[in-house]
Amino acid sequence: MELEFEYFNEWARDSLKLDLSAYKEKQLQRRIGTVMNSAGAKNLREYAHLIQKDEKVRRLFLDYITINVTEFFRNKEIFQEFETVLTQDLAKRFGSLRIWSAACSIGAEPYSIAMILDRHRIQGASILATDIDETILGRAREGLYRENELKNLTPGDLERFFTQEDGHYRIAERLKKTVTFQRHDLLLDPYEKNLHAVICRNVTIYFKNEAKEDVYRRISDALVPGGVFFTGATESIYNPAGYGFKKLSTFLFEKV
């Protein structure tokens, strides 16, 4: 089985531009085994062949492996901390903000940030939103959401930032204009530079320690001095100084 996984990892990197070797092995193997069995494949070579030729199988694999779980203002109290730093500190110090929402899934996170900027009348900001999954990015660009995906939003938010369409809610065009969506792999692709804020939440928990440390170093390099890194509620950075960070709170770190 171990040799099969080595083959499958190499195949995924070459064919899907997906680096599985950085993920925690037991957790990853369990997830792949589950989705492989649901596809009716007997082994990983057969499953790779199915993924290659069948769009639906490929879609299910990517959805299951890349874990597209998100919501607007996820962990609201923590997000409010970030909002305070963004609006009361970063916007005043840097002016036109450059913000990166990494592993953005269906777009709830970057659009949440766009709402914050709109509420506080902060102009000139740009938000880069990236994900490894092109299909999910298509959904994010469309900006159309079911009501159950909007649970953290108030009726006032829905009225101000959305229009209703056949039981769904479409994000306002003025918010869309502040967000640029593009495909990006945190493990393989280069990072932007001169950023004022990076939001990368609930992603690195799936990575091995070496991969996690590399991501933190690269995020630090991507930030300007004084820029802020916002992590997830399930993640901790035990040695922030080792990455050039100063701890502001449990989930917020400033580049020194």
What's residue 141's pLDDT? 96
How far is the C-alpha of 199 from the C-alpha of 108, rounded, in Å?
A: 12
What's residue 86's pLDDT? 97
What's residue 66's pLDDT? 66
Q: Which domains are seen in the chain, by residue range?
A: 2-66 (no CATH), 76-255 (3.40.50.150)
Asked if 253 and 220 count as a contact pair (C-beta separation under 8 A), the reply is: no
What's residue 2's pLDDT? 55
How far is the C-alpha of 203 from the C-alpha of 90, rounded, in Å?
A: 24
Alpha helices by DSSP H, listed for 86-142, are 91-94, 108-119, 134-142
Candidates 140, 80, 88, 134; CA nearest to 110 is 140
Candidates 142, 225, 213; CA nearest to 181 is 142
Q: How far is CA 92 from CA 11, 117, 118, 127, 228, in A?
A: 47, 12, 15, 17, 14
**Along the 256 residues of the chain, how does pLDDT read in single tens digits?**
555 777 888 888 788 777 777 777 777 788 788 888 888 888 888 888 888 888 888 877 877 776 655 788 888 888 999 999 999 999 999 989 999 999 998 999 999 999 999 999 999 999 999 998 888 899 999 999 988 889 889 999 999 999 999 889 999 999 999 999 999 999 989 999 999 999 999 888 788 889 899 999 999 999 999 999 999 877 889 899 999 999 999 999 999 9
Note the pTM of the prediction, 2 decimals: 0.78
